[in-house]
């Protein structure tokens, strides 16, 4: 009987140590997860961010289902580099001006939170216009080279489109596609790009709501960041809401690489193909010919 108390005490101590051991393991797991999330957040804010292309507005260079990598350091950092765009500071840190022809992810001015992706066409001070589908920059036509016909995703569905190589004044070349008949904003007024603002267009010229279209806000709305809109431009293209000019602060990063790509259906109205809930489609609907494709 004299050993009962020490034995009971030893059992109680062992249980306590086991409980502390479990708590310690749980704490270590939580710390590891928190550290991993912090590292991922830092990488996402400062270096790279992945995006999935949801629409056809940038065909023939980006297709629905492309999984792209965006470099966050290309133009410096703004509050829009951080998830949810908290108003921690204004302007840009370590700003590097974007180059004409870059494919850029930016925050839609009218919302400040929705991500858009388009090609940079107009720099601050530029005069931009389209005449019969031909792009003019500062009163000079941008060089075009016909590349034949193909099928493209237009507002009315998949239709024949003209493939063209466009070469901007800086000598950068890229493919665009236009409808041989229907033209969405193919004849416009002259857009004068305000200071610290940019003019963006989709490469699928007849299926892209971009800087040719009114942002849907009053010219002095603070969301426009000083990139006010001349409503007289709407007479040529209609008053449907688009992007308008993009403030410098709204730039998020440069699209650099198509990492992976999957078929995600015929168009936005008929989704299909690869699905996260159908693991076999990750292989059957993959588009390996688009993997690791550098964007120009």
* Angle, CA 99 vertex, CA 93 and CA 100 arms, to 5°: 140
Q: Say which of 81, 118, 184, 261 is annotated catalytic.
A: 118
Cα(60)–Cα(165) distance, rounded to whole angstroms? 11
- Active-site annotation holds for 107: no
In the three-class reduction of DSSP (H, G, I as helix; E, B as strand; rest coil), residue 25 is classed as helix
CB 172 within 8 A of CB 142: no
Taking the alpha carbons at both ends of the chain, their separation in whole angstroms is 85
Q: Is 78 left (phi over 0), alpha (psi -120 to 50) or beta?
A: beta
User: Which tokens belong to 283?
Assistant: 């292989």
* Cα–Cα distance list, 101 to 17, 28, 118, 227, 260 (Å): 64, 48, 10, 20, 22
CB 118 within 8 A of CB 58: yes
CB 174 within 8 A of CB 142: no
* Torsion angle in degrees (nearest 10) through CA of 45, 78, 97, 100: 70
Placement of tokens 């426009």 in the chain:
224
- Active-site annotation holds for 55: no
Q: Say which of 57, 184, 211, 261 is annotated catalytic.
A: 57
* Cα–Cα distance list, 15 to 6, 22, 24, 50, 73 (Å): 14, 11, 14, 47, 53
Cα(184)–Cα(159) distance, rounded to whole angstroms? 14
9: phi then psi, degrees, rounded to nearest 5: -65, -40
Give the residue numbers annotated as catalytic, written as ranges.
Answer: 57, 118
């Amino acid at each position: 009987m004299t050993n009962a108390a020490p034995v009971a005490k030893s059992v109680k101590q062992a249980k306590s140590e086991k409980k502390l051991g479990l708590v310690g393991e749980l704490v270590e797991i939580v710390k590891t997860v928190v550290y991993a999330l912090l590292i991922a957040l830092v990488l996402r804010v400062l270096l790279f961010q992945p995006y999935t292309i949801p629409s056809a507005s940038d065909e023939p260079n980006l297709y629905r289902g492309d999984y792209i990598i965006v470099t966050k350091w290309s133009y410096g950092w703004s509050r829009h580099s951080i998830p949810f765009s908290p108003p921690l500071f204004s302007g840009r840190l370590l700003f590097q001006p974007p180059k004409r022809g870059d494919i850029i992810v930016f925050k839609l001015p009218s919302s400040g939170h929705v991500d858009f992706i388009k090609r940079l066409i107009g720099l601050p001070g530029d005069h931009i216009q389209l005449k019969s589908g031909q792009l003019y920059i500062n009163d000079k036509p941008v060089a075009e080279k016909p590349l034949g016909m193909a099928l493209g995703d237009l507002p009315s569905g998949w239709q024949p489109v003209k493939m063209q190589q466009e070469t901007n004044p800086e000598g950068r070349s890229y493919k665009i596609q236009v409808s041989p008949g229907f033209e969405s904003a193919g004849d416009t007024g002259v857009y004068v790009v305000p200071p610290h603002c940019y003019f963006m267009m989709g490469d699928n010229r007849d299926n892209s709501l971009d800087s040719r279209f009114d942002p849907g806000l009053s010219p002095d709305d603070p969301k426009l960041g000083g990139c006010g809109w001349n409503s007289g431009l709407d007479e040529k293209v209609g008053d449907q809401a688009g992007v308008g000019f993009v403030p410098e602060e709204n730039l998020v990063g440069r699209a650099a690489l198509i990492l992976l790509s999957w078929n995600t259906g015929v168009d936005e109205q008929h989704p299909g193909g690869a699905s996260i809930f159908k693991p076999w489609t990750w292989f059957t609907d993959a588009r390996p010919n688009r993997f690791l494709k550098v964007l120009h």
